[in-house]
Chains A and B, each alone.
Chain A
Amino acid sequence: MRYPTRRGRFGRYGGRYIPEVLMPAVEELDEAYRKFRNDREFKRELDYYLREYVGRPTPLTYCANMSAELGFKVYLKREDLAHTGAHKINNTLGQALLAKRMGKRRIIAETGAGQHGVATATAAAVLGLKCEIYMGTEDMERQKMNVFRMRLLGAEVHPVSSGSRTLKDAINEALRDWLTNVTTTHYLLGSVLGPHPYPMMIRDFQSVIGRETKRQILKHEGRLPSAIIACVGGGSNAMGIFYPFLDDTEVELIGVEAGGEGIETGRHAARFAAGREGVLHGTYTYVLQDEYGQIATTHSISAGLDYPAVGPEHALLREIKRAKYYYATDDEALEAFHYLSEKEGIIPALESAHAVAWLLKNADKFDKGDVVVINLSGRGDKDVEAVAKREGVV
């Protein structure tokens, strides 16, 4: 069975919970996406950009030092080597090409860590679209370089100082912009969230990661991996790598959320560990909230995981036990950040470091014959300054 249903349901998750003003726009988007996703010319153009502009396929790198130390084989899917330094570009190019075909010349987007904002600004620049990005002021402080990068790429960055001043509030503000400018503007959402068709469409654009991984691991190892591990904020890099493996039930799928300062402190973003079902930003899924449904303030060392809801398809995969979800804390992620840098010469994004951290902590779950793939969803250059500050280096 393939999800979602025509109305965007992944089991009971997903759906469309948005103001009436936006309904015709998401219906139009759904129609356009269904039309173009099997259109040869559209696919050819997207493939062209992914290959010649993004640099796909990204390598699947064998980690000799880490494997020797852990006692089983570890591979990294190198999304950090994609243009702009993260997997986000796979989706932004897909949506920007679609927006162009829909006749929308203005793109808006939210960003947390700034990676999606940079990837959106990049796609808009190369395709000649006008681009405006909403970003929480707290995230702007944490990710100054990405703010500058977006501006270099010709995007306008709007600071958002409402609420917790992070990703959630940036989405609120982007949605308000869309309410006002819906006839001329495409909202380029960055993760497998929001009203249907976004979770499906973004998963599809990101599933190039999993398709490549499958081909590459078969070539390297002649077999499928024992497990695939990915960090989960909204969950687009995880859905992208999981999706082509859903029917290969021998492959264990593991998602890692942000444990922040620990679940017991309440300062985290572990929706599956501490959330309940609810509705946020257009979709029915697991949400961190209080007993009355007020959305909780989240915390993570990585801005990209600092969000109170998770993609609805992840909620389904967890319910049917096709994927398992765990969390790693800020400290564990930081340790993994250093570990991978020193061991393999690869500085991971703090988001991706959560996936590495889970494996380091749970290495005893795997044996000599196992092959484990980590989706290294982004590179850590953007985080170097914040880590240095936290450790008192600068």
Chain B
Amino acid sequence: MSRIAEKFAELKQRNEGALIGYLTLGDPTPQASARLATCLAESVDILELGIPFSDPIADGPTIQGAIDRALRAGTNTDDCFEIAARLRRDGVEIPLVFMTYYNIVLQYGEERFVAKCSEVGVDGLLVSDLPVEEASHLVKICRKYGVDTIFLIAPTTTEERINKILKKASGFIYLVSLLGTTGAREKLSEVTIEKTKWALQYVKNLPLAVGFGISKPEHVRAVIEAGASGAVVGSAFVKIIEEKGADACDELRSFAARLKSGTKLG
């Protein structure tokens, strides 16, 4: 069983959902971001780590800002692997997922990239602009190295596409719960709950994590109560880093702990 699958199984036993926390690697600098990721890891169940790409079309202004800061600080793909390796050296044991865009993986070399993930202890890979039709080669490599391939499904995804996606996915399915880019929203969209229930009809053999527009404990609780196995929070964490920079540790930790309370049912 992969580390991601184990984590979901363990949480299920405790009647809890997973809190998946995202931050952009290299924001505000590679060194500071390694420390911030370690802090965040204390209060979330899974860490999703973004490798910055210059043209992040699926990201809203908050994460675009983080990516700009990371790239201005000179962050490259090797730095990101180094941060992941350091998290493992520092004793972080929760699952780590890399999230990026396809050109980053392609230019590193697909096999070299996945082998390196496996070597430093990255458990899963999510490529925002790689739809299932173009992913066969990368999925094959990931299987070989035991790295989970996480795919997105969206409110626009058809049943036919969901079935295609389920054949290539492992670890968990990430439901993009509303149309648009990443970013915190004040209120949880009704569509999010509706879409969560819709997706659960099809996604039965993998955990379903719901993301986009989730930024408060009550949002987290609502999607877990609707039956999701996890909630992904990104921009809300990134906003804290945007404000506090390298000193964001305490606030990341305490905010994550508040969000985490929303995952505990009963």
Q: Could you list which residues of chain A lie within 8 angstroms of chain B, going by C-beta atoms?
A: 7, 15-25, 162-163, 168-169, 172, 175-176, 179-183, 276, 278-282, 287, 289, 291-295
In the complex, which of the residues A7, A23, A281, A295 has the most CB atoms of chain B within 10 Å of its own CB atom? A23
Partner of B181, one of A179, A276, A287: A179
- Residues on A with C-beta less than 8 A from B176 are 19-21
Beta-carbon contact of B76 and A18 below 8 Å: no
Contact A17 B180 (CB under 8 A): no
Report the bound CA distance from A281 to B55 in whole Å.
9
Q: Please name all residues of chain B whose beta carbon is closer than 8 Å to the beta carbon of A182 when the two chains form the complex.
A: 156, 179
| Chain A residues with CB under 8 A of B56 | 172
Please report whether the interface of chain A is mostly helix, strand, loop or mixed according to DSSP. Answer: mixed
Q: Which residue of B lies closest to A15 (CB)?
A: B134
With A293-B106, A294-B53 already in contact, the answer to whether A18 and B131 are too (CB < 8 A) is: yes
Interface size grouping (class) on chain B: 35 or more
Q: Does B31 contact A (CB under 8 A)?
A: no
A22: min CB distance to chain B, Å: 8
From A18, A23, A163, A291, contact of B54 by CB (8 A): A163
The minimal Cβ–Cβ distance linking B209 to chain A, given in whole angstroms, is 14
> Which B58-88 residues sit within 8 Å CB-CB of chain A?
58, 60, 64, 68, 71, 76-78
* Cross-chain contact A7 with B133 (CB below 8 angstroms): yes
- In-complex Cβ contact of B157 among A23, A168, A169, A280 (8 A): A23
User: Contact residues of B with A, CB < 8 Å?
Assistant: 53-58, 60, 64, 68, 71, 76-78, 101-104, 106-108, 128-131, 133-134, 151-158, 161, 165, 176, 179-181
The reply to whether B53 and A180 form a contact with Cβ atoms under 8 Å apart is no
Which chain B residues border A21 with CB–CB below 8 Å?
A: 58, 152, 154-156, 176, 179
Q: Which of B55, B58, B103 contacts A163 (CB 8 A)?
A: B55
Give the contacting residue for A20; candidates B54, B68, B101, B152; CB below 8 A. Answer: B152
* 14 A-B pairs with C-beta separation under 8 A: A16-B131, A17-B130, A17-B131, A19-B176, A20-B151, A20-B165, A23-B154, A23-B157, A24-B157, A176-B180, A179-B180, A279-B129, A282-B129, A295-B55
A162's nearest neighbour on chain B, judged by CB, is B64
Is A20 touching B103 in the complex (CB atoms < 8 A)?
no
Known: A181-B179, A183-B179, A281-B57. A20 touches B107 (CB 8 A): no
